[in-house]
Chain A
């Protein structure tokens, strides 16, 4: 329990007052010479048990009455959210707001989790004042001060977006803010639906953030306002692929989509799917049973002259409207070119093979092996992927400049002779013989993500005989035994730059012989690179900075969205000649909640408490409950009064006690 005036609790020892007064009274006895001892002795024997019990009950009632009064003036709160167990007002209250798409899930009353959370936060913060209020939202990620709790409701930074949250990043921002501003006491309120996609509980960042926060000198308390409730009846829609095909009979779009629902009902449900292509709307129905429905290459005829365009697919709105709609853009099919730069062409033949085999029959893939010198001659042509298995060019080398101009992903494989140069701050170390296997890899996203069916890539089957080390600012996507990186992504603004720790040569690894991993990896990199080709892009909300989005124009989507926040909102945008489709990430559709225990363990030794709420809950999480204590005090006082009332028997006895001898018996011969 928390209190608004916890200082009053220092008066709690006063509950011993009735006992002390009782003991003092016991000591302040008077001495009386008494004759009628026989009645006293009888009375003492008779009343010993009950009188003692009554005495203790009276003392207990008095103690409770005093305690009730003290607790009432301490202004107790009905829950621990934002509660202050000791000390006074917080210097700074920081609100970490999860604005991700999943927070738009509505409750039975029609209010979203985000709105409910904001209302609860505003109520709580109004009740528990703070010197300063700071908002760190999941989309913008920058601390923003606001004057009063009510401003939270009006702020544009509290509106939902389609981008996935990153709690560790928000906590890092919080830690930086605390270090910079050094508030004396800080209450940090996190409002989130605790989705795995947002919290990434397995990320190593948690340990770093936790340690950093623990090192802060000031008192910090974390309060999580959680909305972990899931709607099992929710359906989500996602387009898995869109392809424009030009046939002799005309052009058509091949649309593949997936619908998932929380319950795996065997009963067949007819779901209308609304389709909008370049503003023209149509509708068709699908029959769904089970938890998942895949519509593959649904052909939609379009005008042959329409080589580029956009579209939107939606299903009837349910409790989570953000995942009932998906945007897409299409363009005429482009050949997916892969340039493999190698000093020795023989060593990259397997790479050429996997890069030139298309994943679908209507896609054209090609791979070309070039030497570093030849690659400069292709300056005007943009590939979908560059595989570089040669020495990293030095800063003065013209190929280094060429590499910097590449918009497609670059996948570096180590050459046989390792030089000392680096690219994007990353370099290799010498080859070493170390037979090992892949121990960990990032399976939820990136090149090594699990398949659409959820099956993991067979990285565990790979064996590596020789490997090089990777040095620099990278994110390891896969590591070998002993934490040596196998595949790392450079942290750079250029885009997707990957470094492999080994090659496909049989003497180095089984990548070529167990070809599934290398094929999936290359094709995914090509798919990413394809996005950079042509004039259409499929973007994940939040993946593009606001700076890059300057000049975007909205074609479809949330009309309330600010232009600076376009990259955060699902929709269709025009960026010059290019059409952009922004959608929520795939992780947003995965209804996985971080278990309660795991959330607690993420905060470790930090002062942390949690309250679970539900969307649409209108009752305030924190209420002052001093009335209850006053009622308790009154009940205790009434009980004390009842216990103290003299018994009716005693009254009768006193009245009958005849002082004048009125009940004097009339004995035989007695006239009185």
Chain B
């Protein structure tokens, strides 16, 4: 847990969060605790300004990168005279460049995200994660964007790194409703095609689609050199399927209803769920996706802490 001594005072957060009374999905105290943990990219980022993330380009940081033979036209101030003294040749000393991060959050707003058995829906949980991540990114100077997808891409906010922009993202998060069918895979492909430059793509969804088709979407994103992270949001009841009485299950995405005796199908349900999760696990392993299966009865702060600390260990891959 982040020490509270390093947390910024709540008053400093207020301008960033906007009107906190309408941001129930944001917990300033949790944000204050998480603020000490940097949000790191696992891959090099191409930012517009200097930042804390590795860039594929050489820059002016203090971190040595390599020696390169002098080419006429190079800045003479970058010649390493000591190397010339030792080797009688001209070398230019190059340093790593640090840049800022572009984080694009993809929020699934299909009807299935409206499900929640623990007094909180998956969408509400996703709001907490997305709002917190957005705050953390902006707070460390990174740009944040938001894309809401259902059957179509319903809302797109391009990445910006201003506090005012964060307020706009929070407004969208606050007013987004989970409804309708999902075309998650198609919309991810569309997102991959339309999002230029490298970015940290954070997908918040229950991923209730055919796992095989997800693989292609993830590969597409990876092909675009995005760093992909997935928060796979599941409700405990979806995992446990603990029903006693015959139940009429109404599809939240507008499909037909199904009447079943849970005692008859529980084992088969679990078998199908296991098979699905096994395939998802295989896909994310092979696609190198930063995958986080999350049940929505978990403390989202802990989930984010694991996410952030995990990324710390994987930073710097250039």
Q: Identify A657's interface contact among B270, B306, B314, CB under 8 A.
A: B270
Most buried by A among B111, B122, B240, B263: B263
Selected interface stretch from A39-47, A152-160, A229-237, A517-525: A39-47
B247–A31 CB distance below 8 A:
yes
Number of interface residues of B (CB under 8 A): 70
Which residues of A627-672 have CB atoms within 8 Å of chain B's CB atoms? 644, 646-647, 649-650, 653-654, 656-661, 663-672
| Chain B stretch 248-264: residues in CB contact (< 8 A) with chain A | 248-253, 255, 257-261, 263-264
Instruction: Return chain B residues, CB-CB under 8 Å to A669.
Output: 42-43, 227, 288, 290, 314, 317
Q: Does A28 contact B (CB under 8 A)?
A: yes
CB of A51 within 8 A of chain B?
yes
A36–B238 CB distance below 8 A: yes
Chain B residue numbers with a CB within 8 Å of A44 are: 258, 260, 265, 268
Chain B positions within 8 Å of A667 at CB level: 284-285, 287-291
Partner among B259, B265, B309 whose Cβ is within 8 Å of the Cβ of A671: B309
Q: Is A33 an interface residue (CB 8 A)?
A: yes
A24-50 interface (Cβ within 8 A of B): 25-26, 28-44, 46-47
**Which of B112, B113, B122 is packed against the most chain A CB atoms within 10 Å?**
B112
Is the C-beta of B310 less than 8 angstroms from some C-beta in chain A? yes
Given A25-B245, A29-B259, A670-B310, A665 contacting B268 (CB threshold 8 A): no
Partner of B246, one of A26, A51, A654, A664: A26
Given contacts A659-B297, A667-B285, contact A35 B208 (CB under 8 A): yes
Q: Given contacts A30-B247, A672-B307, is CB(A649)–CB(B295) below 8 Å?
A: no
**Closest-CB distance, A654 to chain B (whole angstroms):** 6
Chain B CB count within 10 A is highest, among A644, A653, A664, for: A653
Interface pair A39/B245, CB less than 8 Å apart? no
Question: B115 near A657 (CB under 8 angstroms)?
Answer: no
Tell me if A54 is interfacial: C-beta within 8 Å of chain B: yes
Binds A, one of B131-139, B188-196, B272-280: B272-280
Question: Known contacts being A25-B245, A47-B264, A650-B270, is A40 close to B258, with CB within 8 Å?
Answer: yes
* Bound CA span A40–B291, Å: 24
A658 to B268, CA, bound (A): 17
In this complex, what residue of B is CB-closest to A54? B264
Cβ of B272 and Cβ of A46 under 8 Å apart? yes
B252 surroundings in chain A (CB, below 8 A):
33-35
Residues of B within 8 A of A654 (CB): 240-241, 270
Residues of A within 8 A of B257 (CB): 31
Min CB distance B295 to A, Å, is: 4
Of all chain B residues, the one with the shortest Cβ separation from A51 is B264
Query: Does B260 lie within 8 Å of A659, measured CB to CB?
Result: no
Whether the pair A35, B291 counts as a contact (CB closer than 8 A) is no
CB-contacts of B99-132 with A (<8 A): 111-115, 122
B77 interface hit (Cβ, 8 Å): no
Name B248's contact: one of A25, A32, A646, A661 (CB within 8 Å).
A32
- Expressed in whole angstroms, the Cα–Cα distance for A29 and B259 within the complex equals 8
Q: Which residues of A contact B248 (CB under 8 A)?
A: 29-32
Q: Is B70 an interface residue (CB 8 A)?
A: no
B268 near A46 (CB under 8 angstroms)? yes
Chain B positions within 8 Å of A657 at CB level:
239-240, 270, 273-274, 277
Known: A47-B268, A650-B266. A33 touches B246 (CB 8 A): no
| CB of B27 within 8 Å of the partner chain | no
Q: Does A126 make an interface contact (CB < 8 A)?
A: no
Q: List 24 A-B contacts (CB under 8 A).
A: A29-B245, A30-B247, A35-B122, A37-B249, A37-B258, A38-B276, A42-B272, A46-B268, A46-B271, A47-B264, A644-B263, A649-B267, A649-B271, A657-B274, A660-B298, A661-B292, A664-B292, A666-B285, A667-B285, A667-B290, A669-B288, A670-B42, A670-B290, A670-B291
The 9 closest A-B pairs by CB, nearest first: A653-B270, A671-B310, A650-B267, A43-B268, A35-B112, A671-B313, A35-B115, A672-B310, A668-B288
B positions within 8 Å CB-CB of A: 42-43, 111-115, 122, 206, 208, 227, 235-236, 238-241, 243, 245-253, 255, 257-261, 263-274, 276-277, 281, 284-285, 287-295, 297-298, 306-307, 309-314, 317
Given contacts A35-B252, A46-B272, A671-B313, 18 further A-B contacts (CB under 8 A): A25-B246, A26-B246, A29-B248, A30-B248, A34-B115, A36-B238, A37-B249, A37-B258, A39-B273, A44-B265, A44-B268, A649-B270, A650-B271, A659-B295, A660-B298, A664-B292, A669-B290, A672-B306
